[in-house]
Amino acid sequence: MNVIGESVQTRSGRDEIGPVASGRVPPPEASVLRNGLTRSKAHMVQAVTKSVMLDDDQEMIERKLKRLSQEKSLFDRKTSKIQFLMCKVLLMIMYLIYGFYRYFQYEYNRMKLKLLNIMYNPSNTPQLIRQDVNKLKKIPKRLAAILEMKSASYVGGGVKGLMNDGSELVCWTVSAGIKHLILYDYDGVLKNNVQDFRKEIRAKLGKYYGPSNVPKYAIRIPHLNKIYFNDEDDATSNGKNKVAIEVSLLSNRDGRETIVDLTRTMADLCAANELKLSNITMKLVDKELTHLVGPEPDLLLYFGPALDLQGFPPWHIRLTELHWEEDNDDVVYSVFIRGLQKYSACKINVGK
């Protein structure tokens, strides 16, 4: 039945992760907070004041030209210039006030996170996690998380750090009793290092459940249509239904590009008269994308300081509940459990 899905996969090349789309400009707040400008106060103030004077933005110049063209006489132009400078100064003052306020907010949030981290600590014990989760009315069926690789010079940075975060998250999810986890990282680092990641998960699960008693897991890479199980030897012998958790690895490649690939493939099939145009319905597109990327997650966790979806597959975040903690910077259990708590309290009403 799945002619379309398979031909999309052969088209896009089964064995490569695909080129990494470069030139991503993250949303302003996330990018500023992540780049560590907040580390030095003096630097921050300097950045605020100087950035006001920056005006080589195309649209700013456009607005300036428009303003100048309206006033005809020299006097008007001079006053308008003074007005412009006044506005710049006022803007700078407002930036400084806002920055000051934001600084206190930042400190407050950090403090809150520290307290939360003390309150919620799984300490490698599945029972504790299950206890936390059992207080909730409902849990999501499918959980997704956006992970990002920090620069290797930080603690917990680099590929190793990313894999550590990912496997930690797998352990929490297993212990919480959620069957499906989607891990997204923009560049597909986890996909590229899937063998190492597999070992890392096994080691981490061993810490939680004892090395001889590791729960069964499956790692799926939908883009390459591959599944990996616990051990190298029992590759596909075990039935899928025995698995305690299924981990899907996604990257930027599964987002917009996959939708465009699907369009191309369907056009080819239509041209070859294998598919009718009238048969292309919303349902079919949804089915194919579910096949190619996976189902829609119920809850999406992000572990950065300000929400940045980083190109998570657009088709799949339709009704997904989003959760992140402001000014948080690490993959910590408190964010995970608070996300679940929020999900259990939210009401879903499509269209009503």
Partner 1 sequence: MRIPKGIRNRLTGPRAERSELTRVEACFKFIKDELMVILIWIASIKLFVILYRQLQNVLIGVVRVGPVPRHVSFIMDGNRRYAKGRGMSVKRGHEAGGLALLNLCYACKNIGIKCVSAYAFSIENFNRPKEEVDNLYNMFAVKLDEFAQRANSFKDPLYGARIRIVGDHSLVSQEMRDKIKNVEKLTKDGADFTLYICFPYTSRNDIYHTVHDSIEKSLKEKSDLGKFTVSAFTERMYLDDFSNKCDLLIRTSGHMRLSDYMLWQSHENSDIQFTSTLWPDFGFIKFYLMLLRWSFFTSIQRYADAGFSIREKVISFIPFLANKKIALDSLPTAPLAVSITGEHD
Subset of residues 271 to 300 that bind partner 1, contact rule: CB under 8 A: 271, 277, 280, 282, 285-286
Find all residues with CB under 8 Å of 47, minimum gap 6, and list them.
37
Give the whole-angstrom CA distance, residue 145 versus residue 196: 19
Among 94, 111, 115, 152, binds partner 1 (CB under 8 A): 94
The residue among 312 and 333 lying less far from partner 1, judged by its C-beta, is 312
Residues between 9 and 48 with contacts to partner 1, criterion CB under 8 A = 24-29, 31-32, 35, 37, 47-48
Helix segments in 194-332, DSSP class H? 194-209, 256-271, 282-292
Q: Which residue number, 194 or 285, has a Cβ lying nearer to partner 1?
A: 285
What DSSP string describes 122-184? -TT-HHHHHHHHHTSS---SEEEEE--PPPTTSTT-HHHHHHHHHHHHHHHHHHHT--EEEEE
Residue 269 and residue 286 in contact, taking contact as beta carbons nearer than 8 Å: no
Place of tokens 């490649």: 253
Q: Which is nearer to partner 1, 228 or 336 (CB)?
A: 336
- Write each residue from 306 to 325 as x if it is in contact with partner 1 (CB under 8 A), else as -, in one continuous string: xx-xxxxxxx-xxxxxxx--
Q: Distance between CA 142 and CA 240 in Å, rounded?
A: 16
Contacts to partner 1 from residues 146-175, by CB under 8 A: none
Please identify which residue in 6, 71, 84, 202 interacts with partner 1, judged by CB under 8 A: 84
Position among 52, 194, 227, 244 found at the interface with partner 1 (CB under 8 A): 52
Which is closer to partner 1, CB of 97 or CB of 235? 97
Nearer Cβ to partner 1 (126/255)? 255
CB 254 within 8 A of CB 293: yes
DSSP tag of 298: S
Interactions with partner 1, residue window 192-221 (CB under 8 A): none
Residue with tokens 């999406």: 300
Least separation in angstroms between residue 350's CB and partner 1 is 5
The least CB distance from residue 263 to partner 1, in Å, is 5
Nearer CB in complex with partner 1: 32/227 = 32
- Measured at the CA of 229, the angle between CA 223 and CA 231, to 5 degrees, comes to 135
According to the binding rule CB under 8 A, does residue 304 interact with partner 1?
A: no
Q: Single out the residue of 83, 121, 125, 131 in contact with partner 1 (rule: CB under 8 A).
A: 83
Spatial distance between the Cα atoms of 251 and 191, rounded to a whole number of angstroms: 8
Please identify which residue in 2, 3, 41, 50 interacts with partner 1, judged by CB under 8 A: 50
- CB closer to partner 1 out of 4 and 116: 4
Total residues contacting partner 1 (rule CB under 8 A)?
A: 73
Least Å distance, CB 41 to partner 1, is 14
Residue 108 amino acid letter: Y
Task: Tell me how far, at minimum, the Cβ of 280 lies from partner 1, in Å.
Answer: 6
CA distance 103 to 80: 34
Nearer CB in complex with partner 1: 227/285: 285
Near partner 1 by CB under 8 A: residue from 3, 82, 90, 152: 90
Consecutive H or E run containing 185: none
